[in-house]
Each structure stands twice: as structure tokens, then as C-alpha cells.
Chains A and B, each alone.
Chain A
């Protein structure tokens, strides 16, 4: 391809992206009109006049039905409101027949075409073409066959690599045209580029619900590291070499660089997530990557802030934030934290292979560079990949392909570093030109190990409820079950008092925790807690607790102020909490996970307390449980469950562990 042809192709691709955005905007306008017409039809606008003007009202009703459900105009366009939602659940009615969705499908196909112009091999691949055509034509069986053929021919890794540049678009097409209403909002977010994908495009499971599992105040502990493995000068390749040296192992590096003007500036290096580790004590696991992407801040960015604080970066000092993968999302979260930017001057952010399309720095003076390989799926975790048609004003965006783009290899920091060193010299030079104040000798380096939460303190002995206790209370062997529900926010607020519930789709997030503590310093006992997830900071407020022994009930009341009662509790084969409630039924398919700690809010004689249940051990995440909660009797927990409307409710997701270890800390004033 000559330079002139390449320029023309790039200009046409840009024109197609602009056209895709116009089509998406048109689709949004059509969708709004459909919602208005649906509201007029289902709100009985015409039928109300039937007694007064039967003929005119009947004609108006027919005109409304034709506008909403006629095939030529808006299409089968029932959308919004209870009836529109019900129609969507039935499928078909709000599917491919709707003009809004047809417009959006055209927009997404255009984005795929734009990507293929820059990467001509993409749609020349007959198996990828077959998949795209089948998905865009809403042929379910053909889509499945095309995907199967692609995986059988290439293997899962190469198949994923092949469709990586258009992964978001293919998922959004699938979500728009399938009959699952839970993923529709995500499909529209991906298609319009209006925000981070809020749910998994295949299942519709809320990303924010999963990300909410990633709780923790963040902690950073100084760690010795061989100085000769770190670069002693500043440049983008040096910074990336440091990230490669640290590896995706839950560590971060803060360096001081003396710039050409003699001023000391600071560089924060944030490596990516640990591949293959869904969830552990480090914020750099898969859950942390997810959380860093879809939330404004998480344990990873908070742990980085603590490292910067511990390092002693002076107030107002200039900082460059360099991150790879989840590290890029975490440093962008720091850059958009107004409080952090009030303390420090974030001059540069370089995010490499990171999903950062919807993050914006708090300071307009922050220079942002995003480097992404189009065959790397991780940057598309926020729903926007190579075909994105959203603007990132003022950013320096490098979105490229290379001939050896096998995922996940192309996602590694080493691969990106090699690409910038060898294949993208002009882009590297431009990034270095902007990073010029950070070119100079490194005068200090400090490596940190990052954690979701501060490591536990040494045990202390106290007398509680008439007996001596070692705190934190340790459980050396046990089992656990956590079920997440959503509930009406009104009753949740009533139970919380002044605390504010975390809302998901307008509903409060409610948690039922149950622990079978088989080997503890208090002997064996079981406990069950009804909690509501609250924010600022993220924690669970226990609103009712049940313990299986009178001694532990007394301790819980005295130590944490829990509204605790005593009753039998069973976790196996089903969760049963005295005569109050039981969770019975199949928990459904499971994914490997790890146990998570939880920050607990409680009130002790009116004083808000914060404590932690730190847990370890392998766990299983059940993303689509079929079990249901049954509430009985007049037990306080039964009354509160009923108040939240959870009698008969099915959990949003569940987590179980048969090899559970935990420590429960004493409460400290919140």
C-alpha cells in the first residue's frame, strides 16, 4: 500500500466511523420516539376518550398501534415502560423488526467495515466473514455454527485473536438481536459509545455487580527489589521496561527522575493484571481489572495512591502515571480523581493496552496517551474496541495492528514495548517528545507490593461478654455462602438510617452472608448476616445477624453492636437460618474464584464502627443461580427480609467456599 493509498484508506475509515456515529445518534432518536409512542399507547391516551368520542378514539388508537407496531415505520417498536419491557422479555417484538435496532445494526456493521479497511485481512478471512454476516443477519444457528467452525479451525486462542478487533461490535450485534432483555442496555452503550458497558453482553449479568465484589481500601507495602533490574533513566521505553521487570505480580514502582531543567519529578509505574488469577489478595487480579475498568476508582487505584503517599511525593509535585492493562485503567482512575489531582500535579498519563475510553482526567492540563493493539481484547473490556466512533478530545491515541498479534501474547507488556521500540518509532518519538520533562537520571526508586487491604495487625487479647478473646477472631477451617440480591431502595434506606445504599439499576444491593466456622478460637459456631451494601466508603452494613451459639451472639452484640439473635443455622445441603429463612434450589453453573474480604459497618451504642472479615481460600462464583429465598415466621431477620421484598427472591449471583479461612477484626470508629 502506497502512502497516498494508505492516507485515503484512513480517511475513508474515519468517514465511516463518523457515519456510524450519525447512524447511532439517529437510532437513539428513533428509540426515543418509539418510547413516546409506546407510552401513549400503553398509557391509554386514546382509550380514555372512548366514552366521550368512541369513533375518534378508536381511530386514534388504531393510528397509535400502526405507529408502534406497523412494519413500515418504527417497526415492532414497543419499548420503555412495563409493557415495552414485557414485550422485550418475550423477544421478537423489540428485536430485529424495530427501526431503531436496524439502524444500530447498520452502525455496528459500518464500524466493522471501518476496522476491516485498516486491517484488510480481517473480513477476507472466510470464517470471520461468515460469523459477522450470520450475527448481523440475526441467524442464531448460523452464528453458533460459524463460531464453532472458527474455533475448530483455529483453536480458541486464535479464534479470539481473529475477531478481537471487532469483538465489541460482534457482542453488541448479538446482544441487540438476541432475545435476552438483560443485555440490551449494554448493547446500546457499546453501540452508541455513551458509556462503559454495564453488563456482560452475552448474559446481561451486571458488570458493576461483579465489580462491587472488589472491595478494599487499598494498601501498599515497601518491598525490596534489585536496583540493577530497574532502568536508571527516564523515557517511555525505560518506563515500560520497568513495568516488564516488575511483571504482573501485584507490585508497583514509584521513581524520582531529575528532568533536564533540574527539577525532580515522579513516575508511577502500574503493571497489569495477573493472568489466570480471578481474585486474590492483590488488587491486580482479574476482578481488579474489571473493577478498574467499570468503576471510577477501586482498590488498585487506592493502593497506588497509598504508595505515592508513603513514598513522600511532595504536595503539588509533578507526576507521570504509566500503566499497562489494568494498571492503565487504575492510573486513569487516579488521574480523574479530583482530590488526588488537588494534591499532586498529574502532567502525563500513558495507558498501554488498557480499557480507558470512558475515563477522563480531572485536570484539562493532563496529557493522555492510549496505546492499543487492535487484536488485544483487554482494551475492549469497556465495550469500545478498534471500531469505536467516540471522540477522545486531546488524547494521543495509537491504535494499531502488527503481524504477530496472537492474543493473549499481544497483550503482554513485553509485546507492547517491542512494538513501540521496533514497529511504531514515530509514535514512540511523539510520546517521548511529550514526556521530555521526565527524561533524565533516576535519583530514587521504591517498589511496593499492593494489596486490596492492609495486612492484618498482630493479635490482641480483650475481655468481651465475660470471656477472654484473641482479636481478630480467627477461623482456621470452615465453609461460606454469600448470596447477592437487589431490593427496593426505599425499605433499604429505612433500614440503613443515614447511610446511603449502593444502587444497581436503581435497586439496592443486599447481601446474605453465612459462615460455618468449624475451627475457631471460640469453638465451632455458625453465623448468618443480612447486609446492605453502602458507599463512601464501600462496605456492608449488617442490619440483622443470627449466631448458632448464645456466647457468640453476646460477643457480636458487645463487640460490634450487631442486632444478633441465636438460632440454628445450616449451610448444607441448603442455607437454613433458624425458622426465619432458607435458600433452596440449584445454584447453577460455577466459575472458579477466590474468597473475598468484606468491610463491615455496624453501630455500637450509636457509634459507627468499621470492621473487616478477611477471608482466604478457593471459592466458586455462581453467576446465574436458580435457587430462591423462602422467608417464614416472625423472626427479626424474617421481618427485615420481607421488608426488603426478598421472600421468594432469586439471588443475582452467589459465591460458595468449602475451604474457608477467615479473620474478623475488632470494630474501629468509622
Chain B
């Protein structure tokens, strides 16, 4: 179970990094438009930073979960 959670969080960490990339590309695309409000770029910058931080924190949590020793008890239904 612990390893499953670790694998899921590792995948989520990669997804968060992809989200950051997607938001960077979005910001770059919108910079070419005059009518886009300035607050949007400030917000996008904050979201990109948060996605990067989230990616790092999820990656660390995933690594620490994966490093834990497996539960010696067999899963339910396999006894």
C-alpha cells in the first residue's frame, strides 16, 4: 500500500512539473496580446512557482514513502 501511494505521488510530481511547463507556455503565448490584463501574468507567475514547489514536495514525499520497508504482513485475502 505504501509503495502504491509512493508511485502515485511520484506520477503526480511529474504532472505538477508538466503543469508548470504548460502555464509557462500559456504566459508566453498571452504576452503577445495587448489586451491581456497585467494581473494575469502576476497570477500565472505565482501558480507556476506553486506548481514547481508542489512537484518537489510530492517528489520528496514519494521518495520517502518508497524508501519505507514493506509491510511483512500479506495483503488481505492472500493468507
Contacts and interface: CB of A to CB of B under 8 A. Distances in A.
Given A40-B8, A49-B69, A73-B54, A22 B22 contact: yes
Nearest to B50: A99
Contacts of B46: 102
Contact of A36 (B8, B49, B57): B8
Interface stretch (A63-71, A284-292, A554-562): A63-71
A205 to B, nearest CB: 32
Nearest to B37: A113
A110 B40 CA distance: 8
Interface string A35-67: 011011001011011001100110110011011
B35 A9 contact: yes
Contact of B19 (A29, A75, A117): A29
A22 B47 contact: no
A22 B37 CA distance: 17
Interface size class, chain B: 35 or more
A575 interface: no
A70 B49 CA distance: 13
Nearest to B54: A73
A510 interface: no
Contacts of B16: 29-30, 33, 73
Given A49-B68, A73-B53, A103 B8 contact: no
Interface string B52-64: 0111111011001
B68 A53 contact: yes
B21 to A, nearest CB: 11
B22 A74 contact: no
A51 to B, nearest CB: 10
A12 B31 CA distance: 11
A19 B30 contact: yes
A39 B37 CA distance: 38
Contacts of B29: 15, 19
A56 B58 contact: no
A26 B19 contact: yes
Given A12-B33, A26-B19, A29-B19, A74 B54 contact: yes
A505 interface: no
Contacts of B8: 36, 40
Contact of A106 (B44, B64, B67): B44
A36 B12 contact: yes
B64 A15 contact: no
A36 B58 CA distance: 10
B29 to A, nearest CB: 8
A477 to B, nearest CB: 62
Nearest to B8: A36
B57 A67 contact: yes
Contacts of A56: 64, 67-69
A74 B68 contact: no
Contact of B35 (A12, A53, A63, A102): A12
B47 A102 contact: yes
A15 B30 contact: yes
A29 B16 CA distance: 8
Given A40-B65, A72-B53, A74-B57, A19 B26 contact: yes
A46 B16 CA distance: 22
Interface residues on A, range: 35 or more
A16 interface: yes
B56 to A, nearest CB: 7
A48 B23 CA distance: 37
Given A26-B23, A45-B65, A56-B67, A39 B5 contact: yes
B33 to A, nearest CB: 5
B61 A63 contact: yes
Nearest to B18: A29
A23 B1 CA distance: 32
Nearest to A30: B19
A220 B76 CA distance: 59
B47 A103 contact: yes
Interface string A440-483: 00000000000000000000000000000000000000000000
A9 B36 CA distance: 10
A60 B22 contact: no
B69 A26 contact: no
A56 to B, nearest CB: 6
A292 to B, nearest CB: 37
A136 to B, nearest CB: 10
A59 B35 contact: no
A109 B38 CA distance: 12
B5 A43 contact: yes
B69 A52 contact: yes
A586 interface: no
Nearest to B57: A67
A40 B61 contact: yes
A70 B46 CA distance: 15
B58 A60 contact: no
Nearest to A60: B64
Contact of B33 (A15, A45, A53, A63): A15
Nearest to A25: B22
A103 B54 CA distance: 14
B66 to A, nearest CB: 9
A7 interface: no
Interface of A: 9, 12, 15-16, 19, 22-23, 26, 29-30, 32-33, 36-37, 39-40, 43, 45-46, 48-49, 52-53, 56-57, 59-60, 63-64, 66-67, 70, 72-75, 99, 102-103, 106, 109-110, 113, 117
5 contacts: A46-B65, A48-B2, A67-B58, A73-B16, A73-B53
Interface of B: 1-2, 5-6, 8-9, 12, 15-16, 19, 22-23, 26, 29-30, 33-37, 39-40, 43-44, 46-47, 49-51, 53-58, 60-61, 64-65, 67-69, 71-72
Given A32-B15, A56-B69, A99-B54, 12 more contacts: A12-B33, A26-B47, A48-B1, A60-B61, A60-B65, A60-B68, A67-B57, A73-B16, A73-B54, A102-B43, A109-B39, A109-B40
Q: Which 8 A-B pairs have the closest CB atoms?
A: A73-B54, A60-B64, A33-B12, A73-B53, A40-B5, A63-B61, A67-B57, A49-B68
